[in-house]
Amino acid sequence: MLGAKRHLLAWPLLTVTLSCSASGTSAPSNAQSCVVATTSVLVNAGDTLRMKFTVPASSTADILSYEVDYLPNPLVSGPTLSCQLFNGDRLLGSGPCNGHFQSSAATLRLSGAPLIDFSTIAAGTSTGRIDFDITGGSFGFDGRGTVSLGHLITTSTGPSIVFEASGTTSPLELVSPSCR
In degrees, rounded to 5, the angle at the alpha carbon of residue 72 between the alpha carbons of residues 159 and 137 is 105
Cα 84 to the center of its chain, rounded Å: 9
Q: Which residues pair with residue 140 across a beta bridge?
A: 42, 71
Question: What is the model's pLDDT at position 23?
Answer: 40
CB 48 within 8 A of CB 176: yes
CB 131 within 8 A of CB 83: yes
Question: What is the model's pLDDT at position 176?
Answer: 84
Question: What is the model's pLDDT at position 104?
Answer: 96
Mean of per-residue pLDDT scores for the chain:
81
CA distance 151 to 62: 5
Lowest mean pLDDT among 13-17, 26-30, 49-53, 162-166: 13-17
Question: What is the model's pLDDT at position 102?
Answer: 97
Question: At 149, which amino acid appears?
Answer: L
Strand, coil or helix: 152? strand
Lowest mean pLDDT among 71-75, 79-83, 173-177: 71-75
2, pLDDT greater than 80: no
User: Sorting pLDDT into bands at 50, 70 and 90, what band is 180?
Assistant: low
Predicted model pTM: 0.80
Question: What is the model's pLDDT at position 61?
Answer: 96
Burial class of residue 85 in the structure, from the number of CB atoms within 10 Å of its CB (0-12 exposed, 13-18 middle, 19+ buried): buried
